[in-house]
Structure 1
Amino acid sequence: MAFEPSDSQQQAIERWLDTEFTPSTLSKQDQKKELYWFAEAAQPYQDVVIRVTSERIDTHWYEATQLAKAFYEITGIRVYHELTGEDDVIKKLSTQITTGINLYDGYINDSDLIGAHFRQGAVLPISEIMMNEAITLPTLDIDDFIGIKFTSGPDGVIYQLPDQQFANLYWYRHDWFSRPELKRQFQALYGYELNVPANWSAYEDIAEFFSVHVKEIDGVRVYGHMDYGRRDPSLGWRFSDAWLSMAGTGDPGIPNGLPVDEWGIRMEGCRPVAVSVERGGALDGPAAVYALNRYIDWLNRFAPAEAKTMNFTQAGAVPGQGNIAQQIFWYTAFTAALSDPELGLLNEDGTTKWRMAPSPKGAYWEKGMKLGYQDAGSWTFLKSTPENRRNAAWLYAQFLVSKTVSLKKTLVGLTPIRRSDIESESMTEMAPKLGGLVEFYRSPARERWTPTGINVPDYTKLSRHWWSNVADAIEGKASPQEAMSKMAQGMETDLVSMTFARVDCAPQLKPKRYRSFWLNQPGAPKAQRLDEKPAGKTFSYEASLSSWLED
């Protein structure tokens, strides 16, 4: 006998379809089939109350306040969806893995942890959960997820299910860059056109131009650069995710450089074997030191003075205040926030006064290298979670990424996960109002801006070295070389102490040699360039978008 939802469930389904679950790439009839499936699959879990946690961004706020309520009304499963800081999500996940105590029934954490997930043996892979057809949505369509490669191990097993994605890209005030008087002034000072910077040299010139020469636009003090420097875990993300890749620290290779990645870690197969130059790594090499030098120099000379006291969350809102000309490393997660008409950053027709474009390349960058980072917040389930609670949470996770709701969620949070949503007519209509976001996600570049990969065996343990040492350099307590060397040594100490269920992929450090030996070898670590500031180059916004199709 075919399942028939209760009257209250049917009413809820109709109400949500009419008010919230539109637009969708599915017809209304197919949406209804999906929602009926959820109502039926949830029948064994009516008395289950689940707790899940995620970081605090617009997409997850929408899930926690709207979609969790819809899920409860349609399925009868109550969800407490807790929002917190990203660092706190990772701490809670790590605590549950370490203690075996079930703190949450599901976590939305970055795929950056994939290196630990496939080595530790604590995560129940999505591939395994999907074998249970009774709780796996027939229309889940795994191949439609643009980030599924990011959540898969080297064994081809899918460990996490993508829930939202956003990249770091270059951001700038297109309206200011287009002003004839500013273009003439820049040309006279620097000898080339004010436009989207192709390299770090041009970015630096533009930063100097606005901060030192222009200073004021329409009565407002303006700056040519924005970043942050507070001693805070988020300072580590700024570097590991992935400042060094833009500088050109590692080797060519996607999703992460091979044999040396953007963390400066040398890999042999799935084994990390070095971080320091003495062992063949690159974290304390000339390219990495160059990257940190530029970071500190630009922060001191071209950003607002208060930027040094800010963290990720505080600094993220600053471009929306209307006094920043450009930002080299801007998270597209802020697209929704900067599209708020109240900020005054929209034209009369609803298009943005700002644009996003490819990240400029550092002096050590080579063709074929990773250029930037993409966050892939993904559902993770642990073996320590009781099966009935995990199954109920798996239903909730699928609901949040189902085709019934995913397009509307994408339009709200602007963190797309499905190819079908990106290619939809709705996204085509929105493209002129999103400053380049749709063009990025419709290009092959969406696979070349990659998260931390399997090369990092324990993101949580190793990432702590980034922010503390970078902060020392920013505060003048250590030189950039001293900070990067200390960071490399600390990471190698941690690597030696790590043990994993997957012993074949456990770290195994190479013996030390003279730095000169490795710096004279081809590839990373790279010897210092005589000229770390080559001639600045810019290109038009249209040409910059075309480069996403080429690089």
Structure 2
Amino acid sequence: MKLRYSTTALALALIVTGAPVRADMDAARAFLDAEIGDLSVLTREEQEAEMQWFIDAAEPFQGMDIRIVSETITTHEYESKVLAPAFTAITGIRVTHDLIGEGDVVEKLQTQMQTGENVYDMYINDADLIGTHWRYQQVRNMTDWMAGEGADVTNPGLDLEDFIGLASTTAPDGKLYQLPVQQFANLYWFRHDWFTDPEIMAEFKEEYGYDLGVPVNWSAYEDIAEFFTGKTIDGVQVYGNMDYGKKDPSLGWRFTDAWLSMAGAGDVGEPNGFPVDEWGIRVNDDYQPVGSCVARGGDTNGPAAVYAIEKYIDWLKNYTPPAAAGMTFSEAGPVPAQGNIAQQMFWYTAFTADMVKEGLPVMNEDGTPKWRMAPSPYGAYWEEGMKVGYQDVGSATLMTSTPVDRAQAAWLYAQFIVSKTVDTKKSHVGLTFVRDSSVRHESFTERAPNLGGLVEFYRSPDRTRWSDTGLNVPDYPRLAQLWWQNIGDASSGAKTAQEALDALCEQQESILDRLQRSGVQGDLGPVLNEPQDPEHWLAQPGAPKPKLENEKPEPVTVAYEELIQRWQE
């Protein structure tokens, strides 16, 4: 399927010249003709009716300038370059949709929280901050908003039940705090063509005694990484793993995005472990954080967490291109598409759009990929019922410090970029699904063979088993910045994994203690446990778990076709 997108000439003219804007159904029809066509779950008549609703609802705000901010990924580039100008032309509300780094988005949001200054009228920020937003109550909870001040500007066709990520943006009070705009999972990526090559399969079976396939556990992943590293295939030197290690903020996401729970740290529970989550933070029954270090019942520095970091470092050193140790997330992301990586455990489906471009070494001439995606394998400490991976849920967020009229105008834009009129086309461009109706659209049935398992994954019940950072993290902006610095010390060799995690959990508890003393989060804030001998907690059921005598259990693999069949069933 060839995809193109372009704003209407009218929309561009309005933005570039700064001419006065008025709500315009002709602009809506031009947008539908040029941009949407039949890539919508709505009929043309239904599309026009939805656009007319936006025109009518936007009338009180015509001529208003609003500012939106998001991180820079393909989906948000499409929103900024195409949907924002179209929205301006259709509604008369001028939108500036800024694209900046993910860390910068959090910094801007944190500034608005601390100062009360309206820096942006809407943030598209990850649902990782749900624990922060719920405790600080500085964002509008959308449940009350849609029934109150936002009622007149809430699309009757919004259809919240169609969204697949609302569990990530809902707090224990049952209120919705953010509206998903894009989401993508962290899965396993591998070269299907190599894994199904008879000669390579026979060689692996002879060397390791079991079938080459999708690794179910880290033991198999490690064997496969060892097997492929150093081989020459298709004229290139191959590596069995891809990762990155530069001491940079993006290194923090690499680990807060569920790496510890994939290893088996934390407790059973979906969407997140309870009472100990994937950051190793323990909460009580009221979701008040009570500790991060093992001495307080946390698991940030427990044996499973140490194992998680040590495996990452071992694989980075032994099975990964040497340059990767000095790379950031954005630098490492394109490397598998160059054709010399056999597998990658920690791979985001947001890379899909850039991995299926014509002419890449990982693409066949018929437009199908040589690679596939599958569930990530789990570590030695993992047990059934635990979180299996991370899913980014970038979500529209309205701060309470934003004036009501500006929040209302921004809310219209948020609904426009996830509207049923627009969402299927946007999903084709960015491949970051938020609506069930879009992923089930017939156009994705047609395109599925070219997307390496993405459509099958998002049509399966499994999609809910990948989730974002949960409610145990009371202040994401402050706590998240601790991770990259401490993990960077372990990655560089300045500290052992145990030393780095000891420092990390102590620093997390220092912030929890300050939050407790300040009382700023009221009854939802931390109430730290008194430290005890770590053995007390290691002897209790659940997390933290004592060190295993054998951290490399028997390797297990499964045929990719069997996984796909499970998803399809």
TM-score, length of structure 1 as denominator length: 0.97
Task: Write the distance in 1 (CA, Å) between the matches of 2:538 and 2:322.
Answer: 37
Shift of 1:186: 0.8
Are 2:560 and 1:541 equivalent residues in the alignment? yes
Distance (Å, rounded) in 2 between the aligned partners of 1:481 and 1:494: 20
The aligned amino acid for 1:511 is E
Which amino acid is 2:416 matched to? F
Q: 1:143: how far off?
A: 1.2
CA RMSD of aligned residues (A): 1.4
User: Is the 1:165–1:375 contact (alpha carbons within 8 Å) kept by the matching residues of 2?
Assistant: yes
Partner of 1:515: 534
Report matched runs for 1:185-334 at 5 Å: 185-212=203-230, 214=231, 216-269=232-285, 270-334=287-351
> Which residue number in structure 2 is paired with residue 437 of structure 1?
454
The residue aligned with 1:59 is 75
Instruction: Provide the secondary structure at the position in 2 that maps to 1:341.
Output: coil
d(CA) in 2 for partners of 1:313 and 1:152? Answer: 30
Matching residue's letter, 2:49: K
Structure 1 stretches lacking a partner, 5+ long: 1-5
Deviations 1:476-518 (A, max 9, x none): 1111000011101000110011146552221111111111111
1:539 maps to amino acid? V
Q: Residue 180 of structure 2: which of 162, 175, 188 is its match?
A: 162
What residue number does 1:385 align with?
402
Contact persistence 1:106–1:390 (CA under 8 A): yes
Offset of 1:7 from its aligned partner?
9.9
From 113, 125, 139, the counterpart of 1:109:
125
Contact 2:24 2:90 in 1 (8 A): yes
Question: How many Å separate the matches in 2 of 1:454 and 1:549?
Answer: 31
CA offset digits 1:2-48 (Å, max 9, x no partner): xxxx9982221111111212310011101100001111111111121
Structure 1 position 79 matched with structure 2 position 98: no
Deviations 1:324-383 (A, max 9, x none): 110001000000010111313222332211000011010000000001000000001111
**Contact residue 445 and residue 549 of structure 1 kept, 8 A:** no
Question: Which of the numbers 357, 371, 388 marks the counterpart of 1:371?
Answer: 388
Secondary structure of 2:167's match? coil
Q: What amino acid maps onto 2:28 in structure 1? A: I
Note if contact 2:23-2:92 (Cα within 8 Å) is conserved in structure 1: no
SS in 2 for 1:329: strand
Q: Which of 43, 49, 53 is the aligned partner of 2:65?
A: 49
Conserved 8 A contact 1:121-1:501: no
> Partners in 2 of 1:502 and 1:85 — Cα distance?
28
* Correspondence 1:119-130 to 2 at 5 A: 119-130=135-146
Q: Does structure 2 retain, via aligned residues, the 8 Å contact 1:112–1:451?
A: yes
Letter in 2 for 1:529: L
Partner of 2:11: none
- Structure 2 unaligned segments of length 5 or more: list them: 1-20
Q: Does 1:184 align with 2:202?
A: yes
Out of 549, 557, 562, the position equivalent to 1:530 is 549
Deviates more, 1:494-503 or 1:398-407: 494-503
Q: Any idea what SS the aligned residue of 1:454 has?
A: coil
* Larger RCO, structure (CA 8 Å, separation 6 or more): 1
**1:277-330 per-position Cα deviation (integer Å, ceiling 9, x unaligned):** 111111101000000000000000000001011111111111111111100010
The verdict on how the C-alpha distance between 1:546 and 1:266 changes in structure 2, with shifts beyond 3 A counting, is farther
Supply the AA of the counterpart residue of 2:154: T
Deviation at 1:547, TM superposition (A): 5.4
CA contact (8 A) 1:50 1:392 kept: yes
Partner of 2:475: 458
Q: Of the candidates 407, 414, 421, which is equivalent to residue 404 of structure 1? A: 421
Distance apart, 1:89 and its partner CA? 0.3
The count of corresponding residues between Structure 1 and Structure 2 is 543
Deviation, 1:190, is: 0.8
**CA contact under 8 A between 2:23 and 2:59: conserved in structure 1?**
no
Q: Report the Cα distance in structure 2 between the residues aligned to 1:311 and 1:549, rounded to whole angstroms.
A: 35
Q: Distance in 2 between matches of 1:249 and 1:145?
A: 30
2:16 counterpart residue number: none
Determine the C-alpha separation between the residues in 2 that align with 1:243 and 1:14.
46
Equivalent residue of 1:364, what SS? coil
**Alignment equivalent of 2:368, drawn from 321, 326, 351:** 351
TM-score, normalised to structure 2, is: 0.93
Aligned-pair CA distance for 1:128: 2.5
* Aligned residue type for 1:325: A
Whether the 8 Å CA contact 1:444–1:549 is kept in 2: the answer is no
Flag the 1:546–1:283 CA change in 2: closer, same or farther, 3 A.
Answer: farther
Deviations 1:514-546 (A, max 9, x none): 111111111110011111011211110022335
| Contact 1:96–1:102 (8 Å) recurs in 2 | yes
How far apart are the structure 2 equivalents of 1:319 and 1:500? 47
Contact 2:186-2:390 at 8 Å conserved across structures:
yes
